[in-house]
Amino acid sequence: MTRAFRLPALLVIGLVRLYQLSAGRVLPQRCRFHPSCSEYALESIRANGLVRGGAAAGWRLLRCGPWSAGGIDHVKARAAEALDG
């Protein structure tokens, strides 16, 4: 990944970490999934990049509500990388 594409992802990762260290510590734990939504977002962006990882994190946030049963939800890596490794 080139530096131009990494910088926006690193900025978003920084914002999520800022949330985790500030509001995430003050607000009560309410996430129905494991890992938490913010941890899922970090893992997803690191594994899949800003666009795909951000989209997966957004979809996860939409599913995290009182109508959802929750559960364990692991980050899915890109298919190309999964085949290579």
pLDDT at position 85 over 50: no
Q: How far apart are the first and last CA of the chain?
A: 17
Domain ranges, residue 47: 3-84
What is the per-residue pLDDT for 83? 43
Section 12-20 average pLDDT = 92
Name the CA radius of gyration of the chain, rounded.
14
Total number of domains constituting the chain: 1
pLDDT at position 37 over 50: yes
- Identify whether the C-beta of residue 60 lies closer than 8 Å to the C-beta of residue 41: yes
Confidence of residue 44 (pLDDT cuts 50, 70, 90): very high
Measured between alpha carbons, how far is 13 from 36 in angstroms, rounded to an integer?
A: 15
Q: Which of the pair, 33 or 59, is modelled with greater confidence?
A: 59
pTM over 0.75: yes
DSSP string, 54-82: HHHHHHHHHH-STT---EE-PPPPPHHHH
